[in-house]
Amino acid sequence: MGGAFGKRKVQILVVGLDNSGKTSIINALKNEKNATVAPTVGFNKDSVEKFNLNFQFSDMSGQNQYRGMWEQYATKIDGLIFVIDSSDKIRFGIALDEFKLLLETQGFNKDLPILVYANKQDSPDAQNPQFFIDYFELKKYKNPSQCFGGSAKTGVGLDQGLEWLSAKIQQVKPK
């Protein structure tokens, strides 16, 4: 792993409701904060080298008609990123339902590290990460998990989250 052959490649599934900011977060992690975004159709592949790993992102569409794809892609991955629009209070319940549906899918890997981004912290009515730790009952799952507040608009908080994920993945044995 690493050295002359480059950083270890890890597969990351990025999910969350439409408009939560998944594509914007990936752009910001790549320092492309001002890239224009459009709703993702199906999914996009993207990658970034950071924190000693080569992250291969599968950036899924969050639109209702595509959410069934999430669980198909949830096998053979090294980490999961779940993105929430922290200001979209009306849809917190739907985000929670989709989160539970995925984690409670039969065969879902209970060792998989889960990074939750409470995105859009720049918004004045955003809920903080602790709110989502409680609301999503993160502690009730065996998976290592953590919620980080972040903003794809300002870039705040995103690296801290990815650094946590990198550390957790490197603690788990490679597949």
Ligand X SMILES: Nc1nc2c(ncn2[C@@H]2O[C@H](COP(=O)(O)OP(=O)(O)OP(=O)(O)O)[C@@H](O)[C@H]2O)c(=O)[nH]1
Determine the straight-line distance between the first and last CA of the chain, rounded to whole angstroms.
12
Collapsing DSSP to helix, strand or coil, 127 comes out as coil
Rounded distance, CA 75 to CA 7, Å? Answer: 22
From Mg ion, ligand X, none, interface partner of 96 (C-beta below 5 to 8 A by class): none
Cβ(102)–Cβ(81) below 8 Å: no
Task: Please answer whether residues 7 and 53 qualify as being in contact, where contact means their C-beta atoms are separated by less than 8 angstroms.
Answer: yes
Report the residue number, 6 or 93, with the smaller CB distance to ligand X: 93
Site for ligand X in 9-38 (CB under 6 A): 16, 18-24, 37
Question: Are 40 and 26 in contact, with CB atoms under 8 Å apart?
Answer: no
Q: Does 119 show up as a binding residue in the annotation? A: yes
Name the residue type at position 95: A
42 counts as binding ligand X under rule CB under 6 A: no
The least CB distance from residue 173 to ligand X, in Å, is: 31
Contact between 123 and ligand X by CB under 6 A: the answer reads yes
Which string of DSSP letters, residue by residue, matches 77-100?
-SEEEEEEETT-GGGHHHHHHHHH
- Least CB distance to Mg ion at residue 172 (A): 27
3-state secondary structure of 72: helix
Q: Which residue has the tokens 């480059």?
A: 6
Binding Mg ion (rule: CB under 5 A), the pick from 40, 56, 105, 170 is 40
120 binds ligand X (CB under 6 A): yes
Q: At closest approach, how far in Å is the CB of 39 from ligand X?
A: 3
Q: Give whichever of 22 and 67 is closer to Mg ion, judged by the CB atom.
A: 22
Residue selected from 103, 112, 114, 152 as contacting ligand X according to rule CB under 6 A? 152
- Which residues line the annotated binding site for Mg(2+)? 23, 40
Site residues, ligand X (CB under 6 A) = 16, 18-24, 37, 39-40, 61-63, 83, 119-120, 122-123, 151-153
